[in-house]
Amino acid sequence: MPNARSVPNIDCDSGDTTYTQDHYLKMNEIKKLNAENAFTSFSDLPEDIVFQILNKLTDLKTLCLCKHVSRRFYHIVLQVEAISFTCFTNPFVDHSYLATFGSAIKSLMKFERVKSLCIQLPSSLDKSFSVQVEGDTTYTQDHYLKMNEIKKLNAENAFTSFSDLPEDIVFQILNKLTDLKTLCLCKHVSRRFYHIVLQVEAISFTCFTNPFVDHSYLATFGSAIKSLMKFERVKSLCIQLPSSLDNHSLCKWKVNFKVKFDSFIYLSPNSVCLKKEFKANESAHQEGEEDMALTLIKAEMLACLGDMIYMITLLSHIIRLPMLEEVSITDSRKRGKVSVSGRKVAEVRNWLSSPSDETIAQKLKYFLTARRVSRCYVPLLEFSGYVMTGVKLYVVHWNDPVDYANVSFMKSDNDDAFEDKEEAVYNEAVMEIFKKHIDRIVRVDL
């Protein structure tokens, strides 16, 4: 396993989550402010955190709305890097809107740090109500009323706080955040923010030390999971654990679910390239000793199987989140992951929580025993413009015997484990082996 990143972790006295030393210092600043005022405002957050939040916004109208909150926010908002802008009336068709459209573009041009810009024009006229506010931008009636409320507050205090924004706008901003540590930091700003932050719908969490390998981190990791379980409205969850593989490995693995865990599939080639690139060096690729190749790769496959067990153990805890619709647990090098989505989330949750004499630990123990293992070695695999050499395949099954001639067992309701181009290539390689090299698949013992 590669060395863990050297980041000091401190278990805060709140028992709520785990922070790096930098987060802990910022947290102390906020707690001191909260000691004086239990309802301290969002403006007490450090400027880099405020920018991180505002930079998640892209809508031009919302950004301009935030820009008028205070002088501090005016300067921070102008640093955002991505903006989108939708025009509901085409000014090039209805020339009466040219001046209004021009004011919006004038406002847009003030964002000199923007790197990504998306503008949408209507394909036909839209008569929705709009109004120009002090030559800065154009707002719908709903935005205009909210803007008036904020301006009245600003008239009394030029440095009014972020807490003056309507609650739905604050939620829209905070819902753009996904990092668990940042969300927990924001959660401690005030009681109002505590309740709003807990409504977010997507969370990501990166662990730099594997608590299942280094048990000294189990308590720290446990406090983070305890904090995560308070976000009962979360729908999408992504957790990343350290990889146990070295940087040179080309393997990938996946898990298929039925109701229980059905199969573990591991594929590791010596090389992958486009077919046109391979032809120039075709003579350099020779079929090696099959037994030697499979023996050398067995240790790596078992390490991946261990990663899978850790991820499924974690899944058994977090899948209890009631609103969860998709969950993905990956390793840091993205060589494999355990993922469940759609109705499979409810099915796996129901299986783990169904009334029985077995504990969850006993239900999970079955995939450590009574498994069937098959392996295959293909020296040269060609498919869809790609070539793999020295391909090693392992398949571990826990349910009924597999008919490899029928590749339907590869498909499941959560079959989203191969999403990007690289993963799609590996998935096709596995299918190709089952279709054309089935005679090479043999039963083995681990």
350: nearest Cα among 392, 319, 383: 319
List Cβ neighbours of 65 (8 Å cut-off, separation of 6 or more): 139, 143, 146, 147, 150, 165, 169
List Cβ neighbours of 83 (8 Å cut-off, separation of 6 or more): 58, 59, 60, 63, 108, 111, 114, 116, 117, 118
Rounded CA gap, 76 and 42, in Å? 14
User: What are the boundaries of each domain within the chain?
Assistant: 18-165, 206-444
Per-residue pLDDT of the chain (446 residues; tens, 9 = 90+): 444 333 334 333 333 444 455 555 555 555 554 444 444 456 667 888 888 888 888 888 888 888 877 788 888 999 999 998 888 888 887 788 888 888 889 889 999 999 999 988 886 544 444 434 344 444 455 555 555 555 555 554 444 456 678 888 888 888 888 999 999 988 888 888 899 999 999 999 999 888 878 888 888 888 999 999 999 999 999 999 988 887 788 889 888 776 566 788 899 998 888 888 776 455 444 444 565 666 677 888 888 888 888 888 888 889 989 999 999 999 888 888 888 888 888 888 887 776 665 665 665 665 566 568 888 899 899 888 899 988 999 888 776 555 554 444 444 444 444 456 788 888 889 889 988 898 888 888 76
Between helix 180-187 and helix 47-54 the angle, nearest 10°, is: 120
Q: Are 173 and 199 in contact (CB under 8 A)?
A: no
Which pLDDT does position 202 carry in this prediction?
95
Rounded CA gap, 421 and 62, in Å? 35
End-to-end CA, the chain? 21
